[in-house]
Amino acid sequence: MGARDMVKKLVPTRLFMAIEPLGHWAEAVVWNIAMGFPSRGLKVIGVTGTDGKTSTSTLITQMLRENGLSVAMMTTISVDYGDGRGEVPNPTRLTTMGARDLLQKIKKIKANNVNWLVLETTSHALAQHRVWGVPYGIAVFTNLGHEHLDYHKTFERYRDAKRLLFKQTNANKKGLRIGIVNADDGVASYFASDIANPMMYGIKNGEYRATNIKMTPQGSSYTVKTKDQTYHITCHVPGSFNVYNSLAAVCVGQAIGLNKEQIQKGIAGLKAVEGRMTRVDEGQDFDVIVDYAHT
């Protein structure tokens, strides 16, 4: 029995829930000091939300890599260390792992001379301070549903846990301090208020708004018009929700200074996200799609 299990067995459940985040915070502080704050110097893009985190993270990573940037990615299903070997399974199966495992992997990423890290970041990790010390420069919010209330207890507490990503990003004075927010989500204003430089995207609302949307079994295409630019986006990952996910990637590209052609090329370059609306084509006369996305 580990120390956590012993404490959980000895103290009342409500007290344990109250003190557990302090334990994770202390662990994050200790391991950061012991490892010399391995994430320092990385440009970190955090992606949070109930759904769409893995697809959005993969779209962003592909866009950056397509344009010659060295980038690593950590998601629910895999870790890509940015060493050219591709993705390996996430051994913890946690979207955001504990502080020690997270920092060990970041240290390995830094050893590969990677400059960018796209990091899926959960409400649990934020509420428990597992990502303390991670220098987020850009925060991305996809959407919020009524999930994980077994842990957070109320929708408001769940929402506010997600908002911690934006607050941590805003506190990073050396970073871009940019927050990218799904303007069509009912809690968008909360996230936008937590960041110095919000960028709003959506289908109904936001400066980065998708219009002329065309959906096919192979993906989608749409236009994004802003006051400065018009983008013609092709996304090869099927599903209307991937219009939103790719819009978030458009905003990231704009935020880091990619031009129109680089953004369009980067998003079009992704052909599939493993386990997320993945098409299986063996010459059959019907569509087969594998999708095991979960919240």
What's the mean pLDDT when you consider all of the chain? 86
Q: What is the pLDDT of residue 11?
A: 43
pLDDT reading at 196 higher than 50: yes
Residue 233 pLDDT > 80? yes
Q: Is the pLDDT of residue 218 over 50?
A: yes
**Burial zone of 253 (CB within 10 Å; 0-12 exposed, 13-18 middle, 19+ buried):** buried
Instruction: Give the mean pLDDT of 238-266.
Output: 96
- Res 86: pLDDT: 74
Q: Which of 19-23, 128-132, 283-287 has the lowest mean pLDDT?
A: 19-23
- Between CA 7 and CA 275 the distance in angstroms is 37
In this structure, are residues 60 and 178 in contact, taking their beta carbons and an 8 Å threshold? no
Q: Which residues are registered as beta bridge partners of 180? A: 140, 199
Please tell me the least confidently modeled range out of 40-44, 88-92, 108-112, 203-207: 88-92
Q: pLDDT by residue (tens digit) across 262-272?
A: 999 999 988 76
What is the full DSSP assignment across 98-134?
A: -HHHHHHHHHHHHHTT--EEEEE--HHHHHTTTTTT-
Residue 238: phi and psi, rounded to 5, are -65, 160
Inform me whether the pLDDT recorded for 279 exceeds 50. Answer: yes
pLDDT (mean) for 142-164: 87
Question: Do the beta carbons of residue 36 and residue 45 sit within 8 Å?
Answer: no
3-state secondary structure of 80: strand
Residues 6 or more apart whose CB falls under 8 angstroms from that of 221 comprise 213, 214, 232, 233, 234, 235
Query: What local confidence, expressed as pLDDT, does residue 87 receive?
Result: 77
Asked if 21 contacts 128 with a C-beta cutoff of 8 angstroms, the reply is yes
Per-residue pLDDT tens digits for 114-124: 999 999 999 99
- The reported pLDDT for the residue numbered 135 is 97
> Is the C-alpha dihedral spanning 291, 294, 80, 85 positive or negative?
negative
Domain 12-290: assigned CATH number: 3.40.1190.10
Distance CA 264, CA 271 (A): 14
Summarised one tens digit per residue, pLDDT across range 16-74 is 445 455 677 788 889 999 999 999 999 999 999 999 999 999 999 999 999 999 999 99
Contact 207, 255 (CB under 8 A): no
Distance CA 214, CA 208 (A): 17
Give me the count of residues in the chain. Answer: 295
Q: What is the pLDDT of residue 273?
A: 65
Does residue 195 have a pLDDT over 90? Answer: yes
- Of 149-163, 177-191, 192-206, 216-230, minimum mean pLDDT range: 149-163
Q: CB-based contacts of 66: which residues, under 8 Å, 6+ apart?
A: 262, 265, 266, 269
Mind listing the pLDDT tens digit for each residue in 101-113? 999 999 999 999 9
CB 137 within 8 A of CB 41: no
Domain ranges of the chain: 12-290
pLDDT in tens, 163-180: 999 999 999 999 999 999
